[in-house]
């Protein structure tokens, strides 16, 4: 009996320790350990932020401490003291930093080495969409990121189920996609003095474009 009690106690400790290491978020990631030797991953932010994760079964997990590894296109999150990674099964996640809200989604057409599983930041989510693919960490946060701050980031306009690469310093790269409203948009650019030195100018242009299209019944 004495030995049985010892065994039960040991089993209890083992179960408790095992439970601490379990993923309590329900996301179903894979256990992960930080890289040895002080090496760091290509995180969009080194800091952890409490955000949301939407899995492919449309379940939303709120209050998850997470980071985004843009190089591997993976979400890393904490559960208690353990780290986990998700390489598939996540359709959307958000990172509210206090300065801006970063919304990332996947499921877009494959383009330029990216797949349908690749995550893009959604800058404008109208009938026409503006997406950003990060290639370097964010060093300086601004609600309207300038060309200088996000030099390596790639912008895409999603129209008619096709991702089209565009550049802020090349108006023709996006105006040629919006040709049916080109004259009106040129007026908007002049009237609102859009310089396209930040993402927000292109967002405003796409808002006007979608508005004009909706006013004409989408034709």
Question: How much is the pLDDT for 37?
Answer: 47
Question: For the chain, how many residues are written?
Answer: 219
Residue with the two structure tokens 């396209």: 196
Is residue 122 over pLDDT 80?
Answer: yes
Whether residue 145 is predicted with pLDDT greater than 90 in this model: the reply is: no
Q: What is the pLDDT of residues 184-219, one digit of tens each?
A: 999 999 999 999 999 999 999 999 999 998 887 655
Q: What is the pLDDT of residues 39-54, one digit of tens each?
A: 457 999 999 999 999 9
Long-range contacts of 115-123 (CB under 8 A, 24+ apart): 117/73, 117/88, 118/73, 119/68, 119/70, 119/73, 119/93, 120/156, 123/155, 123/199, 123/202, 123/203
Q: What is the pLDDT of residue 1?
A: 53
Q: Work out the number of other CB atoms within 10 angstroms of the CB of residue 47.
A: 10
Report how far Cα 208 is from the mean position of its chain's Cα atoms.
24
The residue behind tokens 């003095």 is 193
| Mean of all residue pLDDT scores within the chain | 85
Q: Are 89 and 56 in contact (CB under 8 A)?
A: yes
| Strand ranges for the chain from DSSP E | 30-32, 49-55, 60-69, 74-79, 82-86, 90-96, 101-105, 120-125, 129-133, 154-159, 162-166
With 60 as the cut, is the pLDDT of residue 99 above it? yes
- Which pLDDT belongs to residue 219? 52
Nearest to 211 by CA among 195, 190, 191, 188: 188
Question: And the tokens for 2?
Answer: 């004495």
Runs of H (alpha helix) within the chain: 2-20, 171-175, 182-191, 199-215
């Amino acid at each position: 009996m004495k030995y049985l009690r010892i065994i039960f106690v040991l089993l209890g400790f083992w179960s408790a320790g095992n439970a601490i290491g379990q993923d309590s978020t329900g996301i179903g990631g894979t256990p992960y350990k930080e890289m040895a030797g002080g090496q760091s991953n290509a995180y969009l932010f080194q800091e952890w932020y409490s955000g949301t994760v939407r899995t492919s079964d449309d379940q939303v997990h709120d209050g998850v401490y997470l980071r985004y590894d843009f190089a591997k296109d993976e979400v890393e999150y904490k559960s208690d003291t353990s780290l986990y990674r998700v390489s598939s099964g996540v359709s959307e996640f958000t990172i509210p930093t206090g300065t801006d809200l970063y919304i990332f989604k996947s499921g877009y057409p494959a383009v330029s080495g990216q797949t349908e599983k690749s995550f893009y930041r959604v800058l404008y989510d109208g009938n026409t969409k503006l997406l950003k693919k990060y290639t370097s960490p964010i060093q300086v946060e601004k609600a309207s990121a300038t060309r200088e701050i996000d030099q390596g980031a790639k912008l895409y306009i999603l129209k008619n189920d096709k991702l089209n690469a565009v550049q802020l310093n090349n108006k023709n790269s996006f105006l040629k996609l919006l040709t049916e409203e080109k004259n009106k948009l040129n007026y908007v650019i002049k009237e609102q003095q859009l310089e396209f030195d930040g993402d927000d100018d292109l967002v405003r242009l796409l808002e006007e474009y979608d508005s004009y299209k909706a006013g004409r019944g989408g034709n």
